[in-house]
Each structure stands twice: as structure tokens, then as C-alpha cells.
Amino acid sequence: MLSRKNVGWASTCNSVGQTAGYFLGYVLFLALESATFCNKYLRSEPQTQGMMTLAGFLYFWGIVFMVTTTVVWIFKRERDPRPSEVPDEQHGIVSTYLQLWDVVRLPAVKAYAIILLTHKIGFAAADAATGLKLIEKGVQRENLALLAVPLTPIQILLPFVISRYTAGPRPMDTFLKAMPFRLLLGIELAVMVFLTPYFKNDDGTFPLYYYVMIVASYSLHQVALYSMFVSTMAFHAQISDPVIGGTYMTLLNTLANLGGNWPSTFALWLVDDITWSRCDGVEGLMCGSADLNKACEIAGGTCSTWLDGYYIESAACLVIGFIWLKLSANTVRKLQNKELSAWSASS
């Protein structure tokens, strides 16, 4: 739907739309559906139900979807392609995927696939485990979820600001500049997790200034995160072969998503195994696995953690991330400098 000269804004549309959709479909719904939230913040007289039900929510947004889709159908016009824009042959499903296979075999795509699959290793601990560790330290789950509310305007505005630097011919420069800051912010989040028990009140709650600190930390993290995200989306929009543009973009986005999911999954799987625990009150017993923890409890002891695997992972991710940046930065720059023909199997 965007013209070629505005294709750099595709990443902005993508990120703003996803953020707004997440807020409206998840955060807003959970808040308005919760009787506790509505009674505490929105009502003068408590009631047993929230202000919205799932059925009513889906019905409302179903109507909105139909109206907006109809408006686009009525007012959006597609111009006839110029002769130079018409491909020599029309691609069906089979031929499109055959050409996509040719794309995957391109040297530039192979190199970029490795970049996409590995660049988020350094963020695995911060992205996957920080929220869980805050809950372990006593932060209420619902309070942590509500922190998404002040972050949402930031997440919506950031792509517009960042797009000024990514809409040009070198969007990955922003990616490389943001990466070290995001790596360092991972350590900052780990420090916040470590200090969390010291902010807890006697009644188990946390003061307002603690949540302000958490929001500030996450806000800085979002700046670095969105700088990298918008940069990669802008780069994908630039290099995608227009003959199979949508399929090409899906391939690159799938690789990017996989590159974020597998390190986070691995970090969550590993964190308990590298946590150092001991069984207080019983000599000769250790904790760590479910069986060891149960044996400690049966023997009358209590398990206590003296070195959380989360902190080990955070330090390891920082080192791995900077090593990755040192080894891969030149590759990213070289890929960015390649001609568009290097990314097209139809040229």
C-alpha cells in the first residue's frame, strides 16, 4: 500500500500498529475486564464485575474491523502498474515458493539469515527472565502488567522518532549503534532485580518511586529495542524483491522472530540449572532440581539461593553480545552496502 519512495515507513507502520493492537487487545481489555482494577481506579462504588466482558469486547472490535476494512476498500485505489513494473511472468503459489527457495540460496540472504538468527543472543536473559525474576522478588503480577500502560505511548511514539534515521538508505547503522546500549541496559535491569528486595515495604508492597524507577529502566530499554526493531524492518522493506515482496518479507520476519525466540527459550530452560542453591539446616544436601528440593524439604531443611542463574546468564549474555557485535558489525555493513540485485533471485 506504500509507494516505493515511502517504503522506509513500512517499519513504522508495522511497529506502531503492533504496539497499538497489543495495548488495545491485551492491556486495555485486561484492565477493563478486571473488577479489582475498575473498582480501584474507575468506579466510585465497587461492583462484582468489570466494565467489559470478552463477548462485548470481541463484538465491538468486530464492528470496528468491518468498518475500517470497508473504508479502505472504498477509498483506497490501486493504480495500474507501469510496464517496467510488470514481471515477465505471473507467479502462482508453487512458482512463488520455488523462487523463494532461490532467494534462500542467495549468498547475501544466507549471511543475513545468520545475523538474524544470532543477534539476539546477548539479550536473552533480559528479555526472557527479567519480568519473572521481579515477580519472584515480590512484585505483584498485576502491578507489573500495569506498567505496560505508561510504556505504551512511548512505544507508539518511538517508531516515528526513530524512522527519521531509518527511512534513508542505511537503516542498519542505527541497528549497530543501538545494540551496545541495549546490551548494557540488560545489566542495568539485572541490577534492578538484585536491588528489588531492598525497596520492599514491611507489608510486602513497594513504594511509588520504585515503580517509577522500573518504568524509567524499561523506557530506556524500549528505546534501544525499538531502534533495532525499526531498523531491521526498514532494511527488510528495502531489500525485499517486489516480485514476491510479501513472501520475502515474511521469510525475513520469520527468521528475525526465530532469532529472538530460541535464545529466550534456551535462557529460560537453563536458568534453573545454573542457579546455585543450598539446603539450609541439613548437612550434605544440596538444592537445584525438583528432586533435590523435595529431599531437602523432607529432611527438614529449606532451600535458599546464593547465586541466581539469572545473574550468570546476564553476565554471559553481555560478553557474548559484545563479541557478536565485534565479529558481525562489518558483515552487517557489507550486507547493507550491497546492490538490490544481490537480494533478488529474479535479476
How far from 298 is each of 136, 273, 302, CA to CA, in Å? Answer: 23, 21, 9
Decide which of 8 and 148 is more confident. 148
Average pLDDT over residues 188-213: 93
Q: What is the pLDDT of residue 16?
A: 76
d(CA 220, CA 245): 33
Q: What is the pLDDT of residue 88?
A: 47
Bridge pairing between strands 286-287 and 276-280:
antiparallel
Closest CA to 146 of 28, 19, 15: 28
d(CA 314, CA 275): 12
Average pLDDT over residues 237-247: 79
pLDDT value at 98 more than 80? yes
Q: What is the pLDDT of residue 182?
A: 96
Average pLDDT over residues 21-37: 80
pLDDT value at 189 more than 90? yes
DSSP 241: -
Contact, 268 vs 128, CB < 8 A? yes
Q: What is the pLDDT of residue 84?
A: 53
* pLDDT tens digits for range 125-144: 999 999 999 988 998 877 78
Q: How far apart are the first and last CA of the chain?
A: 23
Q: What share of residues in the chain are helix, strand, coil (percent, to 5)?
A: 75, 5, 20
* pLDDT tens digits for range 78-91: 666 555 555 545 55
Decide which of 78 and 72 is more confident. 72
Grid coordinates in use for 151?
Answer: 510504556
**If pLDDT is split at 50, 70 and 90, which confidence band does 7 have?**
low
* pLDDT tens digits for range 267-321: 999 998 888 888 888 777 777 777 788 888 888 888 888 888 999 999 999 999 9
Bridge pairing between strands 302-307 and 286-287:
unpaired
pLDDT value at 323 more than 90? yes
pLDDT value at 145 more than 90? no
d(CA 186, CA 125): 8
Domains of the chain (ranges; CATH) run 105-343 (1.20.1250)
Give pTM, 2 decimals.
0.77
Helices marked H in 240-306 — which ranges? 245-271, 290-298
Average pLDDT over residues 196-204: 91
User: Burial level of 192, CB count in 10 A (0-12/13-18/19+)?
Assistant: buried
> Average per-residue pLDDT in the chain?
86
Grid coordinates in use for 241?
Answer: 524483491
Decide which of 90 and 219 is more confident. 219
* pLDDT tens digits for range 110-128: 999 999 999 999 999 999 9
**If pLDDT is split at 50, 70 and 90, which confidence band does 39 have?**
confident
Contact, 223 vs 158, CB < 8 A? yes
